[in-house]
Chain A
Amino acid sequence: MRLINRHPGRAARLVLGSLPFLAIVLVYLAASATRLADNPGDKLLPALSSFARAIETMAFTPDRRTGAYLLWSDTWASLGRLWAGLGISAVLTLIAGLAIGVLPMVRALLAPVIAFVSMVPPLALLPILFIALGLGETSKIVLIVIGVTPFLIRDLSLTVASLPREMIIKAETLSASTWLIALRVVLPQAMPRLIDGLRLQLGPAFLFLIAAEAISADAGLGYRIFLVRRYLSMDIIFPYVAWITLLAVAMDLGLGGLRRLIFPWWGMEGRR
């Protein structure tokens, strides 16, 4: 049988999928053991026991100075900023993306400027934001919004514009006004794409968040990583990176599940 026709079963898929994870862990453990055998004080590739100790300190022991559990306070600080940024972006996108996709006049007005703005590298704007908006939460949230929204708007307005013309005409023959077409025909078909767009933008959103926190913050996952970097505390950095990744994966899965739950019809056409 040709390889192209051989499909793994359920169990085989699980095993195959976990192999790379296992490989990463094994390679790390081997490298760490080698380095620690040479020099027990090595800080670059700590042993699992050091990780356990670091996690214990960060997550389950109150900080000596502030009394806070640092991992959790960092997580809430970061997630607050991230969700605020993504939420504002989603609302802006829904309004602008629908208007651009539905109304030819608004498309003529806004599409060029959004195409232009989406090419501005957001991180280059960070100093401007810090100068204009101060070092507080606002500038960090605005950075996420600026970094994520132009892409989302372009994505959503393209999705809306690619709805078959026949569907819009059909709605007109069913006596829909422009507003009702937007509300009952376009919006429900744009929402699943917006959710998928947000999932795709989770990576960039975290990037902007951590960049902003690295430069100026007093709490946050990115702030902590860049803070302990000064002491070469790999035993803290590695768990933090893993935790950020887990958070991103969980949000991605959560949004995907939400989309399937609310919009069960989405993607049915393709699966038939």
Chain B
Amino acid sequence: MTAIVIENVWKEYGDQVVLESVNLSVETRAFVALVGPSGCGKTTFLRMLLGQEKPTRGRILLDGAALPPEPGPDRGVVYQRYSVFPHLTVLGNVMIGPELRGARLLGRRFGAARRALAEEARSMLAEVGLAGNENKYPAQLSGGMQQRLALAQALMMKPRVLLLDEPFGALDPGIRADIHKLMKRLWNEVPMTVVMVTHDLREAFTLATRIVAFERLRDRPEERLRYGATLSRDIDVWPPRIAGRTTIYDADILPGQDDLTSLGHSFGTTRQTGASEHATRFPHP
């Protein structure tokens, strides 16, 4: 089954053609990595999937229906920065989505509904390895923990599609490896299709089932204005990764074992190092 269909999409800003004749269909539960040089329209493409921008020509279908013209809860998003709300605690950040959906007048839940939601939010936080940080503010978390929080916040809405805009680009390698494991596990466990923009090919091959490259095929200075980027390569990662099943490559990551902070004990020296590094690298102010 196809989750997202992109039919002959063009995006122009005035005279500037950014993307031209993009055709793509994404299977349900796929993990697509969009790669390409800077300025090739990856982020513009993601914004169109999000509904933040409209294609100039062509159309985008989500589960067979035309994409709504503005962002909505069926498509979650995690950015590199500004993904979480600085004025809410970690717990508040995870609770706010369901609160906004459930209480259309005040955007707040009270009483039993609130306690049930808080419980759900706590287990989601434990899932992404943030247990124990419920009452901190995002500014008190390290970059990697903030991105874990952003993932938890987005996943609370159970989106059909999760859009990631270079979400791990600003993290250092150790932390990034940890969060890659988390991302893989979440994709395996949560029924969602993932589209991720990245400039890191290694990351793309680590996580994705399919890699789509954007490129300007005509890039001479006089051509830059009138010719946009388009889809130049479309690679299925081999051996194929299928959501919910491990492959030869991924066999080392068993569900629930990617994050030691949530487990409280270690499975080996390498993991131990990773976890203690995660805990001590960013001492809280």
Q: Do A and B bind each other?
A: yes
Partner of B96, one of A172, A184, A264, A268: A184
Q: With A and B bound together, what is the CA distance between A268 and B87 in angstroms? A: 10
User: Cβ of B250: which chain A residues have Cβ within 8 Å of it?
Assistant: none
How many contacts between A and B, using CB within 8 angstroms? 83
A6 interface contact, C-beta 8 A: no
A180 to B, closest residue via Cβ: B107
Known: A189-B86, A265-B87. A173 touches B50 (CB 8 A): yes
Contact with B along A251-272 (1 / 0, CB 8 A): 0000000000001111011011
Contact with B along A166-192 (1 / 0, CB 8 A): 110111111111001001110011000
Q: At the interface with chain A, which of B32-40, B58-66, B68-76, B196-204?
A: B68-76
Known: A184-B100, A272-B139. A169 touches B52 (CB 8 A): yes
Q: Are B139's CB and A171's CB within 8 A?
A: no
Q: For chain B, residues 135 to 164, give those with C-beta under 8 angstroms from any C-beta of chain A.
A: 137-140, 153-154, 157, 159
Q: At the interface with chain A, which of B19-27, B77-85, B218-226?
A: B77-85
Residue of A171, A174, A175 with most chain B CB atoms under a 10 A cut-off: A174
User: Cβ of B137: which chain A residues have Cβ within 8 Å of it?
Assistant: 264-265, 268
A271 to B, closest residue via Cβ: B285
Q: Are B50's CB and A174's CB within 8 A?
A: no
How many residues does chain B have at the interface if contact means C-beta atoms less than 8 Å apart? 35
User: Cβ of A166: which chain B residues have Cβ within 8 Å of it?
Assistant: 79, 81-83
Q: Are A169's CB and B86's CB within 8 A?
A: no
Q: Are B83's CB and A174's CB within 8 A?
A: no
Partner of A167, one of B82, B100, B139, B285: B82
B104 interface contact, C-beta 8 A: yes
Q: With A and B bound together, what is the CA distance between A209 and B107 in angstroms? A: 40
CB distance from A79 to the nearest CB of B (A): 31
A112 interface contact, C-beta 8 A: no
Q: Are B139's CB and A265's CB within 8 A?
A: yes
Q: Are B86's CB and A174's CB within 8 A?
A: no
Residue of A167, A173, A180, A188 with most chain B CB atoms under a 10 A cut-off: A173
Q: Are A174's CB and B96's CB within 8 A?
A: yes
Q: With A and B bound together, what is the CA distance between A272 and B138 in angstroms? A: 11
Known: A183-B106, A265-B137, A271-B285. A170 touches B77 (CB 8 A): yes
Q: With A and B bound together, what is the CA distance between A81 and B99 in angstroms? A: 41
Q: Are A175's CB and B107's CB within 8 A?
A: no
Known: A180-B104, A268-B140. A173 touches B77 (CB 8 A): yes
A264 to B, closest residue via Cβ: B137
A8 interface contact, C-beta 8 A: no
B47 to A, closest residue via Cβ: A169
A–B Cβ pairs within 8 angstroms, 20 of them: A166-B81, A169-B71, A170-B77, A172-B72, A173-B77, A173-B157, A173-B159, A175-B73, A176-B107, A183-B106, A183-B107, A184-B100, A185-B85, A189-B87, A265-B139, A268-B137, A268-B140, A269-B86, A271-B139, A271-B285
Instruction: Taking A174-B97, A184-B100 as given, write out 8 further A-B residue pairs in contact, using a Cβ cutoff of 8 Å, ordered by the A residue number.
Output: A166-B82, A170-B82, A173-B71, A180-B107, A184-B107, A264-B137, A265-B138, A272-B285
Residues of A within 8 A of B (CB): 164, 166-167, 169-177, 180, 183-185, 188-189, 263-266, 268-269, 271-272
